[in-house]
Chain A
Amino acid sequence: KQEVTQIPAALSVPEGENLVLNCSFTDSAIYNLQWFRQDPGKGLTSLLLIQSSQREQTSGRLNASLDKSSGRSTLYIAASQPGDSATYLCAAPGPDSSYKLIFGSGTRLLVRP
């Protein structure tokens, strides 16, 4: 059974700080792992998809890494801005099928001006 855990559950940082969000998963036989952002009352916005053959992916100030052997992924946000305030979710495919994603409970990020 795939379980996805995210820590911390909430994070408050001053603007400009670099930060790391953590995601761990129990079943490492995954095709990929995806990071999302969710603003209050909104849907999910895809941030980064890391294929199992990759170790990291970058998009602007975001960098996500994947270590299948340890069952961990991290999302690094450089030079945080108030507009980065949102809930960040990671999701890994379920072990019985890659047709579904198992989501972590998210990290709620607040970037203070």
Chain B
Amino acid sequence: KAGVTQTPRYLIKTRGQQVTLSCSPISGHRSVSWYQQTPGQGLQFLFEYFSETQRNKGNFPGRFSGRQFSNSRSEMNVSTLELGDSALYLCASSLADGGMNTGELFFGEGSRLTVL
């Protein structure tokens, strides 16, 4: 059974550009969430989607957005990139049933974004 797949694994952008990251969850998983990991702030929640609906959003500016498709695949977009957006972006999926308990989260290898 394939795990969570994130693409691209590495990317370099310049300030002001935008970036789109992709996440394919484990087959059958309908919940997808995104996290940002930096040395200074650690792991911080970005947003969570279930059945194409965003159920929760973290404390990030509006430049960070995401969506989920009908096949549960998800994308996140960051517009007008800043130097501080350099981070490892991690996607996780779970076998959530729509209730409050997310169950066990499984993470991908991440997309490492460097903003110059």
- Chain B contact residue count (CB 8 A cutoff): 28
Interfacial residues of chain B within 19-67, with CB under 8 A of chain A in the complex: 31, 33, 35, 42-43, 45, 48, 50, 55-56, 58
Query: Which residues from chain B contact A96 at a C-beta distance below 8 Å?
Result: 56
Q: A101–B100 contact, CB under 8 A?
A: no
Answer yes or no: B90 CB below 8 A from chain A CBs. yes
Partner of A97 from the list B31, B42, B55, B105 (CB cut-off 8 Å) is B55
Among A31, A46, A99, A105, residue most surrounded by chain B Cβ atoms (within 10 Å): A99
Docked Cα-Cα span, A106 to B102, in Å, equals 21
Docked Cα-Cα span, A20 to B89, in Å, equals 29
User: Which segment of A36-44, A65-73, A77-85 sits at the interface?
Assistant: A36-44
Query: Which residues from chain A contact B31 at a C-beta distance below 8 Å?
Result: 99
Docked Cα-Cα span, A45 to B106, in Å, equals 7
**Within the complex, what minimum Cβ distance (angstroms) separates B106 from chain A?**
6
Docked Cα-Cα span, A7 to B42, in Å, equals 15
Partner of B102 from the list A44, A89, A99 (CB cut-off 8 Å) is A99
Could you tell me which B residues sit within 8 Å of A by CB distance? Answer: 4, 6, 31, 33, 35, 42-43, 45, 48, 50, 55-56, 58, 90, 92, 96, 100-110, 112
Could you tell me which A residues sit within 8 Å of B by CB distance? Answer: 31-32, 34, 36, 41-46, 49, 89, 91, 93-94, 96-106
Extra 20 A-B pairs, beta carbons < 8 Å, given A31-B100, A44-B92, A45-B107: A32-B101, A32-B102, A32-B103, A41-B112, A42-B110, A43-B4, A43-B90, A46-B105, A46-B107, A91-B105, A94-B45, A97-B100, A98-B101, A99-B50, A99-B56, A99-B102, A100-B33, A100-B45, A101-B45, A103-B42
